[in-house]
Amino acid sequence: MLLRLRTLLALGLSAALVTAEARGALDEAGAWSPEPETSEVPGEVRESDLASAPWNLWQAHISDDSADRLLDDADDRLPALFDVPKEMRAQVRFWLQIYTRYSSREAVIFDEDHPELVYEVVDFRNLARTARNRAAYEIVSRQMLRSRVAAYQAALIRLSKSGIRPGNGAPSRSKKLSHEERQLIQVLRGHSHRHQWPALKRGLRVQWGQRDQVIQGLVASAPYRVRMDHVFQSMGLPPELTLLALVESSFNTRALSHAGAAGVWQFMPDSGAEFLRVHRAEGVDERVSPIKSTVAAARLLQRNHRMLGSWPSAISAYNHGHGKWIPVSKRERLSPGRILTQCSHSKGLPSRLGFASRNYYAEFLALLRAERYQDAAFGPAPKDTGQAVRFVRVTAPARVDALAQRHGLAPQVLLSLNPDLLASQLPVARDFLLAVPATEDDFSEVIAATKQRERSFHTSRTARKSALQAATSRATPRRRRG
């Protein structure tokens, strides 16, 4: 116990902040694996995949020079369509560091309007190695992070009263300044945007690293990437766009957000119902099928591009909907770097987008480079093309075991090919598209069914809207003339 407390104090967490809850957790044995090289990964990632890969989930080896090569696409591994706009370079570089340099045991304290302004990286990797269990790690790491953020908030308040202006002023080694004040002055020195201290305090933000999650996502997506690329290419979309699934969920097929978004493409129930069968009560949710949801995502991106005219705008709209882009001028939609990097405090240019929406395209560009240059960022990925499948239509309700027997499969094998079947004890509904093994992939049935469902959805919605308007018109009394 004393040794672990010394570790916490060495990390900068005062004894007063190590609460009774944390002390209790430190004394409880529990399920916790330090995992210095590999990790137990949930979902479809096999431990053997990570154990055999020359990767370290927690220790990055990518240099600043290597990061610049990735940003510049030095080896021409990407189409010019996805070059990094000049005004977005700092933004994309920040996310490239989040994806390739910092793991989920490192927290970056930075300015949300100018992510290149990184004030501190709080490293919890040693705590993870010495913590007795996961609960202790979670409690103490969050306490420590709150303490560090509070220290910077207090420093920004003191600086606002000091007469020192951001970007210049007192030397960073002044004895009258705290460590955090000196750090803030040093990071802000020479920065082109001169915001006041209160604005910088409002922009203080924390982002956890994702290196280990990106590695796990690349392994999990390996069996699907070739067929996902094929779906996008067959529908006339750049195959690079399939990386958005990693931005959305780190390719966790079981991902379910607090808001209810599900699957690797994170469709909400309402938006998913436009393209997919979402009937959880009946044991079907096609949002969790990587292939079916990929076809749905392709249709949605097609529509965004048709309406907005550029891929940066269409990709950004995948995150927050195309409605926010409608008021934007055509010129800005075609080259939206100015909007996606604009400072929320800029005079005469109020920010139209929140932090997540403003950074979504930058995250995509960064993750695309991390994937294409994974030999430099992580190491070579395992090659796994997975089982080829075709989709057959269920002609009448049938149990899973009966369908499995019909196709010469064990029920568990059939369920693994069809993760959108949520309850094996419920009969599979008529017209459900069932994935079965094949000698080569065939997704034509899924593409046709998705298009038909989309048309039916809009026809039904138009009919409901017309009926509502007619009912409203009948209920509204007419004015008498004269």
Alpha-carbon distance 479 to 475, whole Å? 13
Query: Which residues, including other chains, have CB under 8 Å from residue 218's CB and lie 6 or more apart?
Result: 246, 251, 371, 374, 378, 381
Burial of 382 (0-12, 13-18, 19+ CB in 10 A): middle
| CA–CA dist 194, 196 (Å, integer) | 7
Nearest to 96 by CA among 69, 132, 131, 58: 69
**Using CA atoms, how far apart are residues 441 and 451, in angstroms rounded to an integer?**
19
The 8-class DSSP code of residue 442 comes to: B
**Do 253 and 263 form a contact (C-beta atoms < 8 A)?**
yes
Confidence (pLDDT) at 280: 86
C-alpha–C-alpha distance, residues 360 and 362, integer Å: 5
Question: What distance in Å separates the CA atoms of residue 197 and residue 220, rounded to the nearest whole number?
Answer: 44
Per-residue pLDDT of the chain (482 residues; tens, 9 = 90+): 434 444 444 444 444 444 444 444 444 444 434 344 433 333 344 444 444 455 678 888 778 888 999 999 999 999 999 999 998 999 999 999 999 999 999 999 999 989 999 999 999 999 999 999 999 999 999 999 999 999 999 999 999 998 888 876 555 455 689 999 999 999 998 787 778 999 999 999 999 999 999 999 998 999 899 999 999 999 999 999 999 999 999 999 889 999 999 999 999 999 999 999 999 888 999 999 999 999 999 999 999 999 888 999 899 999 888 776 666 656 666 666 666 766 654 544 445 678 888 899 999 999 999 999 998 898 776 677 688 999 999 999 999 999 999 999 999 999 999 999 998 889 999 999 999 999 999 999 999 999 999 998 888 766 555 555 555 554 555 555 54
Tell me if residue 232 falls in helix, strand or coil: helix
pLDDT of residue 250: 94
243, 397, 452 from 394: Cα distances, Å: 31, 7, 17
Contact 448, 396 (CB under 8 A): no
Q: From the CB of residue 297, how many other CB atoms can be counted at a distance below 10 Å?
A: 26
Nearest CA to 114 out of 288, 285, 272, 346 is that of 346
- What pLDDT is recorded for position 5? 41
Q: Which residues contact 96 (CB under 8 A, 6 or more apart)?
A: 67, 70, 71, 366, 369, 370
Q: What is the pTM for the complete model shown? A: 0.83
Q: How far apart are CA 166 and CA 186, in angstroms?
A: 10
Q: Which two tokens stand for residue 452?
A: 């038909």
- As a whole number of angstroms, the distance between CA 425 and CA 337 comes to 51
pLDDT recorded at residue 286: 97
Helix pair 355-372, 89-100: axis angle to 10 deg = 60
List all residues 6 or more positions away from 425 whose beta carbon is below 8 Å from its beta carbon: none
**All domains of the chain in start order, with CATH:** 1-28+116-205 (no CATH), 389-439 (3.10.350)
Both structure tokens of 19: 């609460």
Q: How many CA atoms lie within 13 A of 336 on its CB side?
A: 30
Q: List Cβ neighbours of 310 (8 Å cut-off, separation of 6 or more).
A: 333, 334, 335, 336
Length of the chain: 482
State how far the Cα of 235 lies from the Cα of 317, in Å rounded to an integer.
Answer: 19
Looking at residue 58, what is its pLDDT?
81
Yes or no: say if 144 and 17 are a contact pair by the CB < 8 Å rule: yes
